[in-house]
């Protein structure tokens, strides 16, 4: 892990793609990074990003010329997982037509990451996605991503699924893909168990609007009973305050079913508040939430767990400064 002395010497630039509300940016700023470009298409996420970072991210990355993006040391992207189509590759080979990385991944958002990596050639990158990306389409999607990053672009690539439950009271597994422009001895951090409890992030007083209405609570109970009768595991979840919550999702705004907070016998449970969701994702208390509750639930459900990314960022930067050299390549002063 990067030391305080090393942190004082860091001074690197990064870009924040598919930025959401800036969780990855927070993590990399905390280890000495300076963001020189951000992109996020959702107008509500842009609103939250601006409230916290003082800038509105550029919109649709698919419409941005990679050559107009500032040079940078590290590329960051919590990119959405879109299906990769590999149909037609064999026929292109047979016909002698080009089938490089552009043909392999055109039409997916990963293509936009690849074209920027190719054009700007940063020293390192971090990509984050759902755990299931590794198994998508019988692993063909993930193997294609690795092929592009390693064989077509020439990066030294490392990946691992990390569970945030050692750092925040939430079971949340995400895959992290780290790459360097030359061979490194990078290792993912071992997340020391801080024994987080859900109770530690709950507010003492909560507005009654977060309590489930009788109709919603009755509907969830009927839904659970229906699926139990069929032998299915679908339904709501009453969280253990002394344990950890299930994974917070972007659909939480609908009924809060995956993380309901108990309120005692014969009392309807409640949803988490947006501030509690922020804490569950490891965002600092000063992080501003300028949007509606429904939008906030979507945003935090789609966000990264900041302390996990910070741990990965620290290991990345430690790798990059082991030779005691400043890693800044470009001067934006």
- Contact in structure between 167 and 305 (CB atoms under 8 Å): yes
User: Is the pLDDT at 125 greater than 90, yes or no?
Assistant: yes
Whole-number Å distance between alpha carbons of 265 and 301: 28
Give mean pLDDT, residues 247-253.
93
Q: Which of 126-135, 215-224, 302-311 has the highest mean pLDDT?
A: 302-311
Domains of the chain, each with CATH number or no CATH: 4-194+304-320 (3.40.50.150), 198-280 (3.90.120.30)
Beta strands 74-77 and 156-163: pairing type? unpaired
Q: Which helix (H) or strand (E) holds 162?
A: strand 156-163
Whole-number Å distance between alpha carbons of 143 and 163: 22
Task: Write down the pTM of the prediction.
Answer: 0.88
User: What's the pLDDT band for 87 if we cut at 50, 70, 90?
Assistant: very low
pLDDT at 97: 46
Q: Which residues are catalytic?
A: 81
């Amino acid at each position: 892990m990067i030391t305080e002395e090393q942190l004082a010497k860091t001074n690197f630039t990064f870009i924040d793609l598919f930025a959401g509300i800036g969780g990855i940016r927070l993590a990399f700023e905390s280890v000495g990074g300076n963001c020189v470009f951000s992109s996020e298409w959702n107008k509500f996420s842009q609103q939250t990003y601006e409230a916290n970072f003082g800038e509105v991210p550029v919109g649709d990355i698919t419409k941005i010329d990679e050559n107009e993006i500032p040079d940078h040391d590290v590329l960051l992207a919590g990119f959405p997982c879109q299906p990769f189509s590999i149909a037609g590759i064999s026929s292109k080979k047979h016909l002698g037509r080009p089938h490089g990385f552009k043909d392999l991944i055109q039409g997916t958002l990963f293509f936009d990451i690849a074209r920027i990596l190719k054009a700007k050639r940063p020293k390192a990158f971090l990509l984050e996605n759902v755990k299931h990306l590794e198994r998508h389409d019988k692993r063909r999607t993930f193997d294609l991503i690795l092929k592009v990053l390693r064989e077509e672009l020439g990066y030294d690539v490392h990946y691992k699924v990390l569970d945030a439950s050692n750092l925040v009271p939430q079971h949340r597994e995400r895959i992290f893909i780290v790459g360097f422009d030359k061979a490194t001895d990078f290792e993912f951090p071992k997340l020391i168990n801080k024994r987080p409890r859900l109770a530690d992030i709950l507010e003492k007083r909560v507005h009654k609007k977060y309590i489930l209405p009788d109709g919603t609570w009755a509907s969830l109970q009927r839904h659970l009973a229906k699926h139990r009768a069929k032998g299915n595991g679908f339904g709501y979840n009453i969280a253990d305050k002394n344990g950890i919550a299930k994974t917070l999702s972007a659909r939480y705004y609908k009924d809060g079913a995956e993380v309901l907070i108990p309120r005692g016998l014969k009392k309807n449970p409640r949803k988490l508040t947006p501030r509690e969701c922020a804490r569950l994702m490891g965002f600092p208390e000063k992080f501003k939430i300028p949007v509606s509750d429904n939008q906030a639930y979507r945003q935090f459900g789609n966000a990264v767990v900041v302390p996990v990314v910070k741990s990965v960022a620290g290991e990345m930067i430690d790798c990059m400064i082991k030779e005691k050299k400043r890693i800044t390549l470009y001067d934006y002063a």
